[in-house]
Chains A and B, each alone.
Chain A
Amino acid sequence: MSVPDRASDIRAAVAAKQVSAVEVCHAALDRIARQDPALHAFLHVDADGALARAARIDRAPVPDAPLLGVPVALKDNIVTAGVRTTAGSRLLEGYVPPYSAHVVERLEQAGAVIVGKTNCDEFAMGSSTEHSAFGPTRNPWAPDRTPGGSSGGSAVAVAAGMVPLALGSDTGGSIRQPAALCGVLGLKPTYGRVSRYGLIAFGSSLDQIGPFARSARDLAAIFGAIAGHDPRDSTSADAPVPDYAASLAGDVRGLRIGVPRALVANGVEPGVRAAFDAALEALVEAGAILSDVALPHAALAIPVYYLVANAEASSNLARYDGVRYGTRAEASTLHDVYYRTRALFGAEVKRRIMIGTFVLSAGYYDAYYLKAHQVRALIRRDYDEAFARVDAVALPTSPTGAFRLGERMDDPLQMYLADVFTVAANLAGLPAISIPCGLTDANLPVGLQLTGRPFDEATLLRGADALERRLPMRQLDGRSI
């Protein structure tokens, strides 16, 4: 039997001993070896570790493990014991963590095989994966374009068929935007749904770990495996984890979907707009009821985000001082060790640390940081009011298709606007999903974003399942890239 593409089929085949976990692992490693030189989705492939792990699964399989023998890639800001982890930064070049993230433990309990670590913007700060210290990742749909970011490597690893599943992190859109630009599913769970223990911190009131997949069923399987309470993350929610696969009803009968028409009226590329409208139509055919909703403060989400996230980043990144781990630039005084070590941050990380330091500094705190938090509360209130009338809010995930490498590198504000439709979900702590919904005239993928009530990821997965049955996304044939 040849190795199936879908995680659900791999799991069934390994459990039935039609194919071994080692064969599955070899197939993934072969695809990575063939495709990744042109795409650079991976920073590190742990072939030996993955094959050893697959062999252990074959010797002692747990037949009901939900991801039995399934290869998974991890964004390189998720720590893995004994496997180097850089977060795309020179500051952590060569760092080998002494412990694993909670999600790594969960994936291993679920029978998954972690094959490697994927490229990302440095410390997850960016929207194109071009801010990685180790070079950009390319979009498999158009190699002169970015895959989006910051979890671009994970999105590409799944889009190109190197692995069926991957994890990323999303602070302002870093799972959903690359998922949209690469034509795969990406889910940012509710704040608190997935433990961040072992996620290298960026914006602690915003960061969430979430999965990428090529089908709603596969996405539900990995999400169910990583969701749930962990006392090691004080923001982890102690709420029951439903059976997400049971939510894949095949339709969205009676689902009320709000569309903030005023937000979509300007600045959305025509090809994205057309695919978005077609997706809404398909959801109506599947039983959804559309209505207009107002999110009056949504236009302020980007400025609020860049004040809050950068303030938190400047604090979180104070730990990179060249003393306890990672890279040290040698100098004769401790003062100079700090300055020279931190000079190794890339330009985008420095910009964000500078903005965050400024808005937290004496005399500016109230005007910027406190004010941003107040506007953040208004953004959340808009969603509370919308969810009194609808069950989900629909927007395009990204206002444009994938942009060209280099196009926005010298214009940070233009780069930040890539996240115009995604950051509000992080500010409000809500779950949101990007679902592939078509292609632009330039043959670039478009994503539909659904945002839901807290802990109602099941509705988002149901929407994704209904849409993929009516608008099947063209998959890239991994073997032909």
Chain B
Amino acid sequence: MLSPADVDRIAALARLELTDEERARFATQLSAILAYADQVQQVDTSTVAAADAAPGDSRMRDDVPQPPLDRDAVLSQAPAADRAAGLFKVPRVLGS
């Protein structure tokens, strides 16, 4: 059973701001979902290697430079950018 403190800890890891109503509701709902998922613990998986679990196979490719997306087009979608300098803008991170 997840406590409200557990919910706060997970939300902080995920950088999610929750309302008080969400904190209360999620403690109950996430506990129910995890209790349901707990049935996987009962399964005998001694015959399975973890590496067997991934579907398909990822291919490696040659590391050849390709033309990137147009910088102006990308920056035009940013919430804040200095397009002349080619930079995304965020609030001050260091100092005050």
Q: Which residues of A contact B (CB under 8 A)?
A: 95-99, 191-192, 205, 231, 234-238, 297, 300, 302-304, 306-307, 314, 318, 321-328, 331-334, 336-340, 342-343, 345, 347, 350-351, 353-355, 357-359, 361, 367-368, 370-378, 380, 412-413, 416, 427-429
Contact of A354 among B7, B38, B50 (CB under 8 A): B7
- Can you list 23 pairs linking A and B with CB atoms under 8 Å apart? A96-B76, A191-B55, A191-B56, A235-B59, A238-B59, A307-B37, A314-B14, A325-B74, A333-B93, A334-B91, A338-B15, A343-B16, A345-B16, A351-B29, A354-B30, A358-B30, A361-B10, A371-B40, A372-B37, A372-B40, A375-B43, A377-B48, A378-B48
Expressed in whole angstroms, the minimum distance between the Cβ of A125 and any Cβ of chain B is 13
Contact of B53 among A99, A191, A339, A377 (CB under 8 A): A377
Q: Which residues of A contact B33 (CB under 8 A)?
A: 306, 351, 355, 412-413, 416
Q: How far is the CA of A235 from the CA of B54 in the complex (A)?
A: 11
Q: Which residues of A contact B18 (CB under 8 A)?
A: 343, 350
Contact check, A354 vs B11: say whether CB atoms are below 8 A apart: yes
Instruction: List B20-64 residues whose CB lies under 8 Å from chain A.
Output: 22, 26, 29-30, 32-34, 36-41, 43, 45, 47-50, 52-56, 58-61
Q: How far is the CA of A376 from the CA of B49 in the complex (A)?
A: 11
Expressed in whole angstroms, the minimum distance between the Cβ of A93 and any Cβ of chain B is 11
Q: How far is the CA of A2 from the CA of B92 in the complex (A)?
A: 62
Contact check, B59 vs A234: say whether CB atoms are below 8 A apart: yes
Lowest 8 CB-CB distances: which A-B pairs, in order? A429-B55, A328-B79, A373-B53, A374-B45, A98-B73, A343-B17, A339-B17, A377-B52
Contact check, B61 vs A303: say whether CB atoms are below 8 A apart: no
Contact check, A374 vs B53: say whether CB atoms are below 8 A apart: yes
Contact check, B17 vs A413: say whether CB atoms are below 8 A apart: no
Contact check, B55 vs A353: say whether CB atoms are below 8 A apart: no
Contact of A350 among B26, B41, B55 (CB under 8 A): B26
Query: Known contacts A337-B91, A375-B40, A377-B48: does B56 contact A357 (CB below 8 Å)?
Result: no
The SS class assigned to the B binding surface is loop
Q: Which residues of B contact A361 (CB under 8 A)?
A: 10, 13
Contact of B37 among A303, A328, A334, A427 (CB under 8 A): A303
Q: Which residues of B contact A (CB under 8 A)?
A: 2, 7, 10-11, 13-19, 22, 26, 29-30, 32-34, 36-41, 43, 45, 47-50, 52-56, 58-61, 69-70, 73-74, 76-80, 88, 90-93
Residue of B nearest to A338 (CB): B15
Contact check, A358 vs B55: say whether CB atoms are below 8 A apart: no
Q: Which residues of A contact B40 (CB under 8 A)?
A: 300, 303-304, 307, 368, 371-372, 375
Contact of B90 among A231, A235, A334, A339 (CB under 8 A): A334
Q: How far is the CA of A359 from the CA of B39 in the complex (A)?
A: 14
Contact check, A376 vs B30: say whether CB atoms are below 8 A apart: no
Q: How far is the CA of A256 from the CA of B22 in the complex (A)?
A: 50
Contact check, A205 vs B26: say whether CB atoms are below 8 A apart: no
Q: How far is the CA of A66 from the CA of B42 in the complex (A)?
A: 50
Other contacts beyond A234-B61, A375-B45: 4, CB < 8 A: A191-B55, A192-B56, A345-B16, A427-B55
Contact check, B43 vs A378: say whether CB atoms are below 8 A apart: yes
Q: Which residues of B contact A368 (CB under 8 A)?
A: 37, 40
Expressed in whole angstroms, the minimum distance between the Cβ of A156 and any Cβ of chain B is 28
Expressed in whole angstroms, the minimum distance between the Cβ of A395 and any Cβ of chain B is 20
Q: Which residues of B contact A378 (CB under 8 A)?
A: 43, 45, 47-48
